[in-house]
Chain A
Amino acid sequence: MSIESGEAHRLLWQMVRIRRFEEKCAELYSAGHIRGFLHLYIGEEAIAAGALPELRADDSILGTYREHGHALARGVPAGAIMAEMFGKREGCSGGRGGSMHLFDVSRRFFGGNAIVGGALPLAVGFALAEQMRGTDRVVACFFGEGAMAEGEFHESANLAALWKLPVMFLCENNLYAMGTALGRSQSNVDLCEKAHGYGMRALSVDGMDVLEVRDAMRRAVASVRAGEGPIFVEFRTYRFRAHSMFDPELYRDKAEVAAWRQRCPIERFVRTALEREWLDDAGVAAIESEVAAEIDEAVAIAHAGTWEPLEALERDVYVRAPAAPAARA
């Protein structure tokens, strides 16, 4: 596992950014500035922080409703994300989507999908388009293990493997589909076997270890880009907070949560980075203050954002009525 201090700094900075951003979101939710559903990624930061930098700017990313971390790691400005949470016009989706529907097409970040499994067929289509155009772009589709009970996972996995498409099925297995434990919803909890069943390459990695995530992702991206067909990657992880702000967490033991918290990806990486002298205490502290300043600014942008006028209510439903093209040449 090789790393230089610049990269160690970037990985830690990204994880801390995501953590602090979401802690701020929870606070703003309680204060009533953010409404609707809010699904926090806290505990799972190593996946977005480790995986996203391995993709190129021209690759495409599709995600779920727990996608704040992926959007941040893809470079969507924190202010635009926070403004979206507030429902403001300056949000990355013009305020129309909210927490579950972050989009930034300029960064090829295609959401933000709140139907479990709903983005998987889309990702297959994205990859089909790349294959038909003969590019070496890849498509990264993040989803939770809950999606693997949906028919859309199976239909998409079969299509992708059948057509050898450049798509990555990136499963964030946090062990609970909302409140239903994996073993209570799947006849076989070995998720890689499901991918193998479609003739797809599959691997399982420790999603709490940002370096393991990075290394696995680097190899996986290279193989898909080289034309080896789709790949399935299971990131074993855990969400430290409730499923959403409405979840009383009746379905899991406090002891289980506490045990996973011991494996916090941020604390773990800080320990390693200090031990191996990739970073020092001052460097870690500097990241915290840099992130705090960025989040303050994001919150200020969201507060200063403007509301869409009511007259614009029906905007962005259709772009225009197409005229019939001129008679055949």
Chain B
Amino acid sequence: MSTTIRTTYREALRMGLRDALARDERAFLMGEDVAHYGGTYAVSKSLHGEFGEDRVRDTPLSESGFVGAGIGAAMNGMRPIVEVMTVNFSLLALDQIVNNAATLRHMSGGQIEVPVVIRMTTGAGRQLAAQHSHSLEVWYAHVPGLRVVAPATLADARGMLWTALQDPDPVVIFEHAMLLPMEGELDADAGAVDIDHAAVRRPGTQLSLITYGGSLHKCLEAAEVLAREGVDAEVLDLRTLRPLDVDAIVASVTKTRRALVVDEGWKTCSLAAEIMALIVEHAFYDLDAPLARVCSAEVPIPYPKHLEDAALPQVGRIVAAACEVLSR
């Protein structure tokens, strides 16, 4: 029987980074305040001392410059891990990610590989207002050539980076800011995990709650509430947002015949919209009820706590939406 350790999502991310740097001399971490400051969210704390200035490298506030440099270093044989402070700031590097990282393999007729990993925090919940709180995962998930993953558990926080670094194509990793202090048990020998498949986090038979990232834990809590009311909900964690695990989505929905998608992005043109479209394309005749979704309100995330809370998917709204799908 394997032993477990008590740890946090933040520490699990750090274990993954430490492992990557120790295992592969081509790997290095660069980004704003990743070294001397210890990482904006303290994810890379102490790594600078362990691996030195070269391999844990502070950058100027030049998102396009250093993300592009990561892409260039990857094209030239390195395995850069580039940290961008938040998805909001990553928009300054969107040109490099979308016009270079995602296109070069195709434009070069398959000659160029871009094995870069770009990590960034996402999500709201800490009263950081409209320029530090958005969930723009879908902007990246829209782009062919990128792989987009969102670890929601300790094991995924620990193990997705390892596999991402094996990918010859660019991988964008979204780490939800509210999960960083999350505590839990992790296998002492936890290692790499696949970055291709969704995972059923709670099996159920009457309704599929389909979600990812920070919303996973809200959905699990909602499923508990529903269970007390006699509803057996399944919770599917997408894990990889591009390419989506269509088979897993369809398998869950054909079993439960009802689906509610929970996505912290804005509703219009959201990942939730894409998932609902996929269900309609692949499992329409298996449905017993109209599809539904809980997304963020169509507003830049506001500062005051009561308004921020109201803007985001919450357990209560998920339960209420689930009851509507179930006509209860």
Contact = CB atoms under 8 A, between A and B. Distances in A.
Given A115-B99, A121-B96, A128 B113 contact: no
Nearest to A98: B107
Interface stretch (B119-127, B164-172, B177-185, B221-229): B164-172
A118 B107 contact: no
Interface string A114-134: 010010111111111110110
Contact of A121 (B72, B113, B169): B72
A151 B162 CA distance: 33
A155 B75 contact: no
Interface string A309-329: 000000111111111111110
A156 B78 CA distance: 19
B316 interface: no
Contact of B168 (A94, A95, A319): A319
A37 to B, nearest CB: 14
A318 B145 contact: yes
Contact of B60 (A97, A104, A158, A322): A158
Contact of B110 (A115, A120, A133, A316): A316
A133 B21 CA distance: 15
Contact of B95 (A115, A125, A128, A328): A115
A110 B112 contact: yes
A93 interface: yes
B71 interface: yes
B100 A118 contact: yes
A156 B96 CA distance: 12
A317 B59 CA distance: 30
Interface stretch (B36-44, B192-200, B278-286): B192-200
Interface string B39-57: 0000000000000001000
B113 A129 contact: no
Contact of B107 (A97, A151, A152, A155): A97
Contact of B108 (A103, A124, A318, A328): A103
Contacts of A60: 76
Contacts of B193: 324
B109 A91 contact: yes
Contact of A105 (B111, B166, B243): B111
B75 A158 contact: no
Nearest to A104: B111
A66 interface: no
B69 A124 contact: yes
Contacts of B75: 110, 122, 125-126
Contacts of B113: 319
A319 B106 contact: no
A152 B168 CA distance: 25
Contacts of B59: 159
A121 B111 contact: no
A324 B164 CA distance: 9
Interface residues of B, number: 55
B244 interface: no
B95 A129 contact: no
A121 B167 CA distance: 22
Given A122-B68, A317-B145, A318-B147, A113 B100 contact: yes
B65 A159 contact: yes
B80 interface: yes
B112 to A, nearest CB: 6
A317 B65 contact: no
Interface bracket on A: 35 or more
A111 interface: yes
B108 A101 contact: yes
Nearest to B170: A318
B106 A316 contact: yes
A96 interface: yes
Contact of A129 (B67, B72, B112): B72
A316 B105 CA distance: 6
Nearest to B73: A125
Given A159-B60, A321-B196, A328-B189, A103 B69 contact: no
A105 B60 CA distance: 30
Select the residue from A129, A156, A159, A328 with max chain B CB neighbours within 10 A.
A129
A162 interface: yes
A112 interface: yes
A188 to B, nearest CB: 21
A124 to B, nearest CB: 4
B209 interface: no
A152 B67 CA distance: 11
Interface string B61-94: 0101111111111111110100000000000000
**4 shortest interchain CB distances as A-B pairs:** A121-B68, A94-B109, A125-B72, A155-B65
Given A103-B108, A118-B68, 13 more contacts: A101-B108, A118-B95, A121-B66, A121-B67, A122-B96, A152-B64, A152-B65, A158-B60, A159-B59, A159-B69, A319-B105, A321-B195, A328-B19
